[in-house]
């Protein structure tokens, strides 16, 4: 299976601290995406990093990709209580047919005020 594995499964921090989540995957990819999901709601796309990129920033988000280690990390800086959610990495196999996007198990982030 191509499914990513997030680490840690749960993370609890105070507001203002940084949160780092890691994702590992198994085979070659086109890109790696991170999504956020509030409890019982749909997923929201956060950031996409392509296989030829090593780092990408979007606001308080920083994503890194190491294709040699088949891993990615998502850093949320200066976290807020509103960042409390589940975070999923998702990958599509290089050369895969349309739509086969595999989601990891997710990291549940809790940010305490």
Binding site for other proteins (CB under 8 A): 3, 30-31, 33, 35, 40-45, 48, 50, 88, 92, 96-101, 103-106
CB of 16 to other proteins, least distance (A): 27
Q: Is 23 or 111 the residue whose CB approaches other proteins more closely?
A: 23
CB 58 within 8 A of CB 111: no
CB of 90 to other proteins, least distance (A): 8
Q: Is 99 or 113 the residue whose CB approaches other proteins more closely?
A: 99
CA distance 47 to 36: 10
Question: Residue 82 phi/psi, 5° resolution?
Answer: -70, -10
User: What are the structure tokens assigned to 47, written together?
Assistant: 């950031």
CB of 61 to other proteins, least distance (A): 14
Q: Is 40 or 113 the residue whose CB approaches other proteins more closely?
A: 40
CA distance 99 to 62: 25
Geometric angle at alpha carbon 18, from 87 and 111, rounded to 5°: 60
């Amino acid at each position: 299976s191509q499914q990513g594995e997030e680490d840690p499964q749960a993370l609890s921090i105070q507001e203002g601290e940084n949160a780092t989540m890691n994702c590992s995957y198994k085979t070659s990819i086109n890109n790696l995406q991170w999504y956020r999901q509030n409890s019982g709601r749909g997923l929201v796309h956060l950031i996409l990093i392509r296989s030829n990129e090593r780092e990408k920033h979007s606001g308080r988000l920083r994503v890194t990709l190491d294709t040699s280690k088949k891993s990615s990390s998502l850093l949320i800086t200066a976290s807020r209580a509103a960042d409390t959610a589940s975070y999923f990495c998702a990958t599509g196999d290089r050369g895969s047919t349309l739509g086969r996007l595999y989601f990891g198990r997710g990291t549940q982030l809790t940010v305490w005020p």
